[in-house]
């Protein structure tokens, strides 16, 4: 995971690295970014997942709480 130090674009305070947590029926999961337009699965009612996915990391401003998310590396 990238440990670059960022400053908030709004208030110039330091930003902290973390992830947004997806709560689901089996516990917690890290959100992913999926390339392309979303398509609904007729069988499950969820999304069809085809293409490259990327784990999403999020920085939170320690001063004002602003969030900024990135999808840096493809998920293996």
**Res 1: pLDDT:** 44
Measured CA to CA, the distance from residue 12 to residue 55 in angstroms comes to 26
Measured CA to CA, the distance from residue 2 to residue 5 in angstroms comes to 9
C-alpha neighbours within 13 Å on the C-beta side of residue 39: 10
Measured CA to CA, the distance from residue 30 to residue 48 in angstroms comes to 18
What pTM did the predictor assign? 0.71
Show pLDDT as tens, one digit a residue, over the chain (76 residues): 445 689 999 999 999 999 888 888 888 888 888 888 878 888 887 877 777 888 899 999 999 999 999 997 776 6
Which one, of 7, 10, 11, 28, lies nearest residue 19 by Cα? Answer: 28
């Amino acid at each position: 995971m990238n440990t670059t130090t960022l400053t908030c674009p709004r208030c110039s305070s330091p930003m902290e690295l973390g992830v947004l947590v997806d709560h689901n029926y089996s516990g917690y999961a890290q959100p992913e970014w999926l390339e392309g337009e979303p398509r609904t699965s007729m069988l499950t009612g969820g999304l069809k997942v085809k293409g490259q996915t990327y784990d999403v990391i999020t920085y939170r401003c320690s001063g004002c709480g602003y969030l900024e998310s990135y999808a840096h590396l493809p998920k293996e």
